[in-house]
Structure 1
Amino acid sequence: MEFQATIPGSKTGGSIRQRLVRLFLIDKLKSPVGIALLLAVAGIIAAGTAKMGLTFGILLILGVGVLPLLNGIVNYPKFGIILQLIMAYFLFMLGRIGVPGPIGTLMDGIQALLLLGLIIRVKENGNDWTYFKNPITTVLLIWLIYNILEFGNPFAESRMAWMYTIRTVAIVLLGYFVHIYSIRSVTYVRTLLKLWLFMSLIAALYAYKQEYIGFSDAEEAYLHSDPAIASLLFIAGHWRKFSTFSDPVSFSYNMVMPTILCICLIAGKMKLWKKVVLAILAGLYMSSMLFSGTRGANVLLPAALLLFAILNYSKKVLVFTCIAAVFLVILINIPTGNANIQRFQTAFRPNNDDSYILRKRNQKRIQPYILTHPMGGGLGATGDWGKKFAPGSMLASFPPDSGYIRVAVEEGWIGLFLFCLMMFTILKRGINNYYQMKDPELKTYCLAMTLIVFAYNIANFPQEALVQYPSNVFFYLEVALIEITFRLDQAKQKEAVQVQSFNTSNVL
């Protein structure tokens, strides 16, 4: 008896990937196409060396290293997703230490390669798009299409502002489709969550370093590069800390979210030592968050815990909630000379805060504009891009100071309605999925992601919480995990029913 093994790509014809496998691994370039390819490469190397000398050799070496990396992102989405998350988390730190090149464009490139790999895999699987059919996908597509249509907004002052803003506002949500199609195992979900907690630990410890040791030379140069930076970050004789992120607000929000994850995991079923580790991590995250001096972040954890107590009601949760509430009341009212704790306390007394009163006045002032411009003033009309591309416009000087206000001003009341509809659908889907799921571990993950999305919605009122790296990347991962955990749970339930049916038929 003879056994014959077929190597993928050894047959004639087939997909582009199969042809490349055959050309390089089967034929080993011993074919007319291979010889022509080698001659072309030799000619390019000769011409490049003659014209550019050593520079071409360095570029060639870099190219040889980059090609496997590009291949890994396209053909191995698990690797590409991890690389994207790491890059998003430390993007601004790389810029501060002097890494050359447009790092933000690099993030766009990784996103594009992940989407390319997604399209290839869907095509190879017979163009089966059923994986994406759910209410969240529908509202995300509506939001994406509306943002694209904003390019034609007749009231927009600048199309270039749209070009720069669409990347972090809408294009980044395409990561949701990559995640929901590529993440197919509980093991990989665990890997991503562990990676997130580990990177958050690095960020928390680095904030401690900034607080008690000081800033690096690169960070000192950044802080003193513009008087406007000092006016925002130097308060009451104390520098607000930003750790590895772009600013203190982004840092604080990215400490609260993993804290919520830790609390949900602690409430689940796991070994005691793991719960102790998670409790320590949560303590580090929240204590380092105080160094940011961001008052808006202080209300996020209590708000998330309130929803947690409602969704996961039990005597144990009720006792924990009451203890946490008493601790919070004491912390809010206790006399202290600590500047960080004093700033924390002011978050719960907004009507006594001059900054909050000024924001309310600005929001009241812009309401007539929002009501008379259903599509708003165009993406990028406010903030830095507005000042750069439309410096003489009314909106360029308007400080939105809120994610919801920015949406209302730039995309009108239509855009605000669609944005709120999107968030409502995501939260509704997360709550419904949580109650339908059976697997304890997956239920915990789904609950954590739902609470984090809820916290981001609260955070988006006092600040812009969803347009900056890494929050925008992680947000759509968390949204995708709401559906992924439900899908994995349904598969487990179906498998359990099949096993039970099989065992029953054998007994009979």
Structure 2
Amino acid sequence: MNPFEKTYGPDLLKKPIPVAILISIAVCFSLLTVSKGIVIGIMMIIMPIGFAYLTALIINPRIGLITILIFSFFVIGLSRYLTATWGLFIDGLLFLMYLSLFFKAFKKKIPWDNAKSQITLLATIWMGYAFLEVANPEVVSRAAWFYAMRGIALYQWMMIPLIFILFNRPKDLKIFIMIWGILSLLGTMKGMQQLFFGVDPFEQRWLDNGGHVTHILFGKLRIFSFYSDAGQFGASQGHAGVVFGVLAMAVKKNIKLKIFFIIVSIAGIYGMMISGTRGAIAVPAMGGIMFLIIRKNIPVLILGAIMGIGVYVFFAHTTLLNNNAQIRRMRTAFDPNDASLQVRLANQRKLSGYLASRPFGGGIGSTGNWGQRFTPHTFLANTATDSWYVAIWADMGIVGLYLHLFVLFFVLITGAYNVMFRIKDPWLKGQISALTCGMAGIMAASYGNGVFGQFPTGILMYMGMAFIFLAPRWDKKIQEEKVQELQLA
């Protein structure tokens, strides 16, 4: 066919029927916007974009994992601007990815065997325990169980196999790291905006509706950026500070990448400081200790210990820089007589007595925000847990706590072992070192705050766990390729 005789998209605008259809659509959009409000109008505009995105997701489900990673940083902050159950969006994406794989299986073989791993088995056992908790006789609200178990077990169980199947190449780890770094930088920049210029009207409304109780202390704003709260912001930024600090030390030749990692690390530590979150200091502290251990370098270990002692002395036994509100607040974390610490210990003693006869806990969703929402009249809902581990203990009992700790320490020890003895490639070793040190820091900080299962930390941890177990497979291929190159040479 003569290409000059073909009909192209713009040519349709010369015909009356397509023009009439476009005008009708525009009129309908205008009438709906006028009668139902601007939100409906925006939704009508977004619908075609959403349809195109869903089509792309079904064709290439990897897009869903990248979307979840990005969205996890904004999911809570977004609720301050648009009221919706945004967390269920992640559930929907996970379901659609599995649905996509199900239909793809009719045309080609899906490599489900790639998901065979110790971490997949552990995540399944943990999910199984969480599922059985719905039958816990102490459960007061099944609705609370549904909402709470997602962050505790469901996301981990659903995401890890998807990483092994869809996001299982070394370049995918690079994508993960770069997205994390960029979004962490944005988080610190948003925090700086709040610190130096104040909060916007939507954030002010959130503070006025109760957020001020925990976020304005002695007239000073605790910075929360676009995260759920200052505690999550501080821990997440401390996490980035550790991970990207280790990555910066691991990069040898790529100067631009090293500079990027250094900037993200410094910005992360700064974000942690301005958050005013005392418990977040545990992230770089424990992350640093883990780094010294896996380096297997005695002189460096001794130097690190001296530096650690110096930091402790600075906070616990001096009043230097006490005119700085952030340092002054973090210094209270080293005070054994701190009033907040004493309240936490008192709550733990009360929980100990209550849970002594409840080895499986009071049921998932019995504590914290879910408890306040669904069962506000109960003892557990009105007893602050503060700590992630105390919340697991209260919800799932001592049995659940021991199982959870076993899973976490198994992953942590595996990561350390892989770095110290299995992985040979220097850059891959550096990346897994960073993830392992970051995990150690988050595990430590989760004793003081419930940061582990929240967005974005939970998503970062689950993806990081999968990469820790994928790394030996990658390293084996890298070493085999090096041997082949030597043989060909």
Give the shorter-chain TM-score range.
Answer: 0.7 to 0.9
Compared with structure 1, are the counterparts of its residues 63 and 276 closer, same or farther at alpha carbon in structure 2 (3 Å cutoff)?
closer
Matching residue of 2:341: 356
Match of 2:417 among 419, 426, 432: 432
* Residue type at the aligned position of 2:48: V
Q: SS of the counterpart of 1:347?
A: helix
Contact conserved, 1:118 with 1:178, CA < 8 A, in 2?
Answer: no
% of aligned pairs identical? 27
Compared with structure 1, are the counterparts of its residues 92 and 390 closer, same or farther at alpha carbon in structure 2 (3 Å cutoff)?
closer
* Residue type at the aligned position of 2:443: N
Compared with structure 1, are the counterparts of its residues 243 and 61 closer, same or farther at alpha carbon in structure 2 (3 Å cutoff)?
closer
CA offsets 1:178-207 (integer angstroms, 9 cap, x no match): 112212322222122111111100110111
CA distance in 2, matches of 1:180, 1:169: 20
CA distance in 2, matches of 1:195, 1:426: 23
Matching residue of 1:265: 247
Matching residue of 1:389: 374
CA distance in 1, matches of 2:103, 2:483: 34
CA distance in 1, matches of 2:175, 2:28: 47
* Residue type at the aligned position of 1:189: L
Matching residue of 2:330: 344
CA distance in 1, matches of 2:51, 2:205: 35
Contact conserved, 1:290 with 1:340, CA < 8 A, in 2?
Answer: yes
**Structure 1 portions without partners, runs of 5+:** 1-44
TM alignment of 1:175-190, pairs within 5 A: 175-190=159-174
TM alignment of 1:476-495, pairs within 5 A: 476-495=462-481
Task: State which drifts further: 456-465 or 247-256.
Answer: 456-465
Compared with structure 1, are the counterparts of its residues 476 and 237 closer, same or farther at alpha carbon in structure 2 (3 Å cutoff)?
same
CA distance in 1, matches of 2:417, 2:104: 30
Q: SS of the counterpart of 1:401?
A: coil
Compared with structure 1, are the counterparts of its residues 364 and 129 closer, same or farther at alpha carbon in structure 2 (3 Å cutoff)?
same
TM alignment of 1:103-182, pairs within 5 A: 103-120=86-103, 126=109, 128-173=111-156, 174-182=158-166
Match of 1:82 among 62, 66, 70: 66
Matching residue of 2:190: 206
Number of matched residues? 454
Compared with structure 1, are the counterparts of its residues 289 and 50 closer, same or farther at alpha carbon in structure 2 (3 Å cutoff)?
closer
Task: State which drifts further: 183-192 or 112-121.
Answer: 112-121
CA drift at 1:318: 4.0
* Residue type at the aligned position of 1:238: K
What's the C-alpha RMSD, in Å, of the aligned pairs?
2.7
CA drift at 1:469: 1.3
Matching residue of 1:25: none
TM alignment of 1:50-69, pairs within 5 A: 55=32, 62-69=46-53
TM alignment of 1:177-326, pairs within 5 A: 177-226=161-210, 229-271=211-253, 272=255, 274-314=257-297, 317-318=300-301, 321=304, 324-325=307-308
**Residue 464 of structure 2 is aligned to residue 472 of structure 1:** no
* Residue type at the aligned position of 2:234: S
**Residue 388 of structure 2 is aligned to residue 417 of structure 1:** no
TM-score by length of 2: 0.86
Q: SS of the counterpart of 1:352?
A: coil
CA drift at 1:429: 1.6
Q: SS of the counterpart of 1:420?
A: helix
* Residue type at the aligned position of 1:352: N
Contact conserved, 1:446 with 1:486, CA < 8 A, in 2?
Answer: no
TM-score by length of 1: 0.83
CA offsets 1:340-399 (integer angstroms, 9 cap, x no match): 1111222223x1211111111111121133231121111111122222322322212111
CA distance in 2, matches of 1:223, 1:160: 27
Q: SS of the counterpart of 2:356?
A: helix
Contact conserved, 2:111 with 2:165, CA < 8 A, in 1?
Answer: no
Contact conserved, 1:74 with 1:80, CA < 8 A, in 2?
Answer: no
CA drift at 1:499: 4.4
Contact conserved, 2:184 with 2:268, CA < 8 A, in 1?
Answer: yes
CA drift at 1:230: 1.9
Contact conserved, 1:204 with 1:285, CA < 8 A, in 2?
Answer: yes
Compared with structure 1, are the counterparts of its residues 293 and 49 closer, same or farther at alpha carbon in structure 2 (3 Å cutoff)?
closer
**Residue 439 of structure 2 is aligned to residue 453 of structure 1:** yes
